[in-house]
Amino acid sequence: MSESLIELTDVHVNFPARTNWLGKVTERVHALNGLDMVVQRGETLGIVGESGCGKSTLARLLMGMISPSSGQFELARAPYSWLGRGMQMVFQDPLSSLDPRLPIWRTITEPVWIQTHPGEKERRDLAAKLASQVGIRQEYLDRLPHAFSGGQRQRIAIARALSAQPDIIVLDEPTSALDISVQAQILNLLVDLQKQQNLTYILISHNVSVVRHMSDRVAVMYLGQMVEVGEARQVLDSPSHPYTRLLMESIPRIGAPLDGAPHNTELPSNRHLPIGCYFKDRCPFATVACEKPQTLRSLTNGSSSRCWKAESLLDV
């Protein structure tokens, strides 16, 4: 039986975008708009969606850095927080997420130090153990972050996340800032660590190949909602939602000619949300039925899709 660690139901997050001369908010950015999501223990849930669809907002919400404007946010084991005890995060840019003035043995053990204030000897021993788990040599532990390459810095950031013995690690574009050759090494390290420590990953990426390589399940995000959720292979190889299909078609393939007009996958404004289905204005299958708001519906292939036509599109 799978155990859900996180359940989000109809979660909304918005930010003030404009205020009038009295300081009253007159316009809002609607970053998450009725987001539903379940995370099961031990899985990697890949989250894909283009820039601005709300992926990092979701990550910050999960980490407790921001609160939902409305909706339900349930965690299996309270209290989860950015201090550790359950959930940790690895960011896209390892250099800006590591304190440039701290030798890395301090950085790696900072989450534990905040929680339990271990002594220096204990802290150094823990740093050495974590460094060996992520492939950083012990003699480098007194160095500062700038002495390392991008890939090594990301290893340090992963060691830091592991130090608090989290159940869940939120990985927000963990390899996007790295050379392609280093990307694979970091992804393989993450896979090995997951097996050894029964970790649960929420992997956020706009890179479909990275998500395909890593994920058990995939959730596709569009304008602050999940539009399709299911087994990775089902979602990526037989997408049911018109947006997922567009996303898959717009990935350049090796050997395929780069002719024809590029697909328009630009998001509508999240200041004035569309009425009904958010994707209808660029959907090739749109009809009057799409003027109604869409909910996630279960399909016969086990996925869920936020489109009334999804089942019939599976065979097209």
Ligand X SMILES: Nc1ncnc2c1ncn2[C@@H]1O[C@H](COP(=O)(O)OP(=O)(O)OP(=O)(O)O)[C@@H](O)[C@H]1O
Please give the residue ranges that form the binding site for Mg ion (CB under 5 A).
55-56
Angular region, 94: left φ>0, alpha ψ -120 to 50, beta rest: alpha
Cβ–Cβ under 8 Å, residues 163 and 151 = no
Instruction: Indicate whether 29 belongs to the interface with ligand X (CB under 6 A).
Output: yes
Is the previous residue joined to 166 through a cis bond, with omega within 30 degrees of 0? Answer: no
Cβ–Cβ under 8 Å, residues 63 and 232 = no
Instruction: Indicate whether 185 belongs to the interface with ligand X (CB under 6 A).
Output: no
Query: Residue type at 161?
Result: A
96 vs 209: CA distance, rounded Å: 25
Toward ligand X, which CB reaches closer, 110 or 172?
172
CB of 258 vs ligand X, minimal distance in Å = 23
Q: Terminal CA-to-CA distance of the chain, rounded, Å? A: 34
Choose the one of ligand X, Mg ion, none that binds residue 270, judging by a C-beta under 5 to 8 angstroms depending on kind.
ligand X
**Interactions with ligand X, residue window 89-108 (CB under 6 A):** none
CB of 266 vs ligand X, minimal distance in Å = 12
* Interface with ligand X (CB under 6 A), residue from 270, 294, 303, 304: 270
Toward ligand X, which CB reaches closer, 58 or 131?
58
Query: Residue type at 159?
Result: A
Cβ–Cβ under 8 Å, residues 94 and 154 = yes
Choose the one of ligand X, Mg ion, none that binds residue 143, judging by a C-beta under 5 to 8 angstroms depending on kind.
none
CB of 204 vs Mg ion, minimal distance in Å = 7
Instruction: Indicate whether 76 belongs to the interface with ligand X (CB under 6 A).
Output: no
CB of 243 vs ligand X, minimal distance in Å = 14
Distances (CA, A) of 248 to 35, 238, 252, 253, 270: 22, 10, 9, 10, 23
Instruction: Indicate whether 55 belongs to the interface with ligand X (CB under 6 A).
Output: yes
* Interface with ligand X (CB under 6 A), residue from 46, 54, 145, 151: 54
78 vs 56: CA distance, rounded Å: 22
Size of the site for ligand X (CB under 6 A): 13
Choose the one of ligand X, Mg ion, none that binds residue 111, judging by a C-beta under 5 to 8 angstroms depending on kind.
none
* Interface with ligand X (CB under 6 A), residue from 85, 129, 206, 282: 206
Type and span of the H or E element at 162: helix 150-163
Toward ligand X, which CB reaches closer, 105 or 278?
278
β-pair partners for 28: 16
* Interface with ligand X (CB under 6 A), residue from 52, 64, 103, 150: 52
Cβ–Cβ under 8 Å, residues 76 and 5 = yes
CB of 214 vs ligand X, minimal distance in Å = 17
Distances (CA, A) of 160 to 6, 91, 99: 22, 12, 12
**Interactions with ligand X, residue window 123-182 (CB under 6 A):** none
* Interface with ligand X (CB under 6 A), residue from 12, 38, 56, 122: 56
CB of 250 vs ligand X, minimal distance in Å = 15
Instruction: Say if strands 304-305 and 297-298 run parallel, antiparallel, or are unpaired.
Output: antiparallel
Q: Which residues contact ligand X by CB under 6 A? A: 15, 29, 31, 49, 51-57, 206, 270
